[in-house]
Structure 1
Amino acid sequence: MITVAIAEDHQSLIDGIELLLKYEEEISIVGVANDGEALLTIARRKQPKVILMDIRMPKIDGIAATRIIKKELPHTKIIGFSMFDQEDAVRQMIAAGASGYLLKNSPLEEVLTAIKQVVAGETYFDAAINLSLFSKDAKQPSKKQLLSKSEREILTLIGRGKTSSEIAAIRFNSVSTIETHRKNIIRKLGLKGKGELLRYAIEKKYDF
Structure 2
Amino acid sequence: MITIAIAEDHQSLIDGIQLLLKYEEGISIIGTANDGKGLLDIVRLKQPKVVITDIRMPKLDGIEATKVISKEFPHIKVIAFSMFDEDRAVIQMRDAGAKGYVLKNSPLEELLKAIYAVMEGNPYYDIGIDHTLFDNASAKVKTPKSNLSKSEREILKLIAQNKTSSEIADIRFTAVSTVEKHRKNMMRKLGLSGKGELLKYAIQSKYDF
TM-score exceeds 0.5: yes
| Structure 1 segments (4+ residues) deviating >3 Å | none
Q: Distance in 2 between matches of 1:60 and 1:22?
A: 27
Separation in 2, partners of 1:89, 1:29: 26
Look up the match of 2:77: 77
Answer yes or no: is the 8 Å Cα contact 1:94–1:138 preserved in 2: no
**Residue number in structure 2 paired with 1:36:** 36
Return the alpha-carbon distance in structure 2 between the equivalents of residues 127 and 86 of structure 1.
13
Equivalent position of 2:106 in the other structure: 106
What aligned pairs does 1:50-199 form with structure 2 within 5 A after superposition?
50-134=50-134, 136-138=136-138
Distance 1:78 1:127 in 2: 18
The answer as to whether partners of 1:7 and 1:52 remain within 8 angstroms in 2 is yes
CA offset at residue 133 of structure 1?
2.5
Distance 2:116 2:92 in 1: 23
Q: List per-residue Cα deviations over 1:84-142 (Å, max 9, x = no partner).
A: 01111001000011001000011111111110110110110000101122361249xxx
Structure 2 residue 17 is the aligned partner of structure 1 residue 17: yes
Aligned equivalents of 1:91 and 1:23: distance in 2? 33
Question: Structure 2 length normalisation: TM-score?
Answer: 0.65
Q: 1:3-14 residue pairs with structure 2 within 5 A?
A: 3-14=3-14
Aligned 8 A contact 1:4 1:31 in 2: yes
Aligned counterparts of 1:131 and 1:116: Cα–Cα separation in 2:
19
What is the CA RMSD across the aligned residues, in angstroms? Answer: 1.2
- If the length of structure 1 is used for normalisation, what is the TM-score? 0.65
Give the Å deviation of 1:25: 1.8
Q: Kindly state the Cα deviation for residue 79 of structure 1 after the two structures are TM-superposed.
A: 0.4
Give a deviation string over 1:45-66, Cα, whole Å, max 9, x none.
0100000010000010000000
Q: Secondary structure at the match of 1:3?
A: strand
The runs of 5 or more residues in structure 2 that have no matched partner are 140-209
- Give identity over the alignment, percent: 65
Contact 1:118/1:124 (CA < 8 Å) preserved in 2?
Answer: yes
User: What is the DSSP-based 3-state SS (H/G/I as helix, E as strand, rest coil) of the residue aligned with 1:13?
Assistant: helix
SS where residue 14 of structure 2 aligns?
A: helix
For residues 131 and 21 of structure 1, the distance between their equivalents in structure 2, rounded to whole angstroms, comes to: 27
> What is the total number of aligned residue pairs between the two structures?
139
Rounded Cα–Cα distance in structure 2 between residues aligned with 1:128 and 1:25:
28
